[in-house]
Amino acid sequence: MTATTLDAHLAKRYEPALVLACLEIVLDFGVAGGLAGGLLIGTGAGLLLIGNGRIAGASGIVRDFLGFAFDGAWLERAVFLAGLILAPLAYASIAGAPMLEAPFSAPVMALGGLLVGVGVAYANGCTSGHGVCGLSRFSTRSLAATVTFMATAAATVFLVRHVVGA
């Protein structure tokens, strides 16, 4: 079906304004990218779970990679991280991707990184471990962690944008 006949078809069967409004929601709110990305994240985590019996928790993988935990799975962590970092670059070289903007300069971002690092080390998991892998097995421990870090993240954004930045 060519574009013009598709247009005519849509106009005949649906209210054009409604189609436009739906399309606008999908594009504006990143529904398509968010959903497609989420499905890929789930597929990667699911493959690691059923394929290797491992939980795709980024903070634990990075910690044990850096800590040289030679428990037979160190190389598995290394290639997971290599895939995680290099595949998006390969994808972007074909599909293209915009450069990212940080909200703050290096010193504040470093403070953020330190808080994230120490926090996930004590909590034994982050958005991937507690959020994706924990919530999907209905773990109350992971639910408690996820509710806590989402709440303090939202509170911090509120403080930075509407109290300090106001």
Partner 1 sequence: MRLLVSALAGALFGIGLLISGMADPSIVLGFFDVAGTWNPQLAFVIGGALAVMVPAWRLARMRREAWTGGPLPGPASTIIDTKLLGGSALFGVGWGLSGLCPAPSLVALGFGGAPFWAFAAAMCVGLLLPRLIASRRSATA
Q: Report the site for partner 1 in 101-120 (rule: CB under 8 A).
A: 101-120
Of the pair 8, 92, the CB lying nearest partner 1 is at 92
144, 76 contact by CB (below 8 A)? no
Which window, 1-9, 14-22, 127-135, contacts partner 1 (CB under 8 A)? 127-135
59, 83 contact by CB (below 8 A)? no
Per-residue tokens: 60: 């634990």
| Burial of 140 from C-beta contacts in 10 A (0-12 / 13-18 / 19+) | exposed
Would you count residue 136 as binding partner 1 (CB under 8 A)? yes
* DSSP notation for 70-107: -SS-HHHHHHHHHHHHHHHHHHHHHH--PPP--SS-HH
Of the pair 11, 116, the CB lying nearest partner 1 is at 116
Of the pair 2, 140, the CB lying nearest partner 1 is at 140
The residues, any chain, with a CB within 8 Å of residue 101's CB and separated by 6 or more, are: none
Number of residues that bind partner 1 (CB under 8 A): 109
The least distance separating partner 1 from the CB of residue 33, rounded to whole angstroms, comes to 5
Nearest to 63 by CA among 51, 50, 73: 73
Q: Which of residues 33-92 bind partner 1 (CB under 8 A)?
A: 33-56, 58-59, 62-63, 66-67, 75-77, 79-89, 91-92
String of contacts with partner 1 for each residue 9-28, x by CB under 8 A: --------------------
Of the pair 10, 76, the CB lying nearest partner 1 is at 76
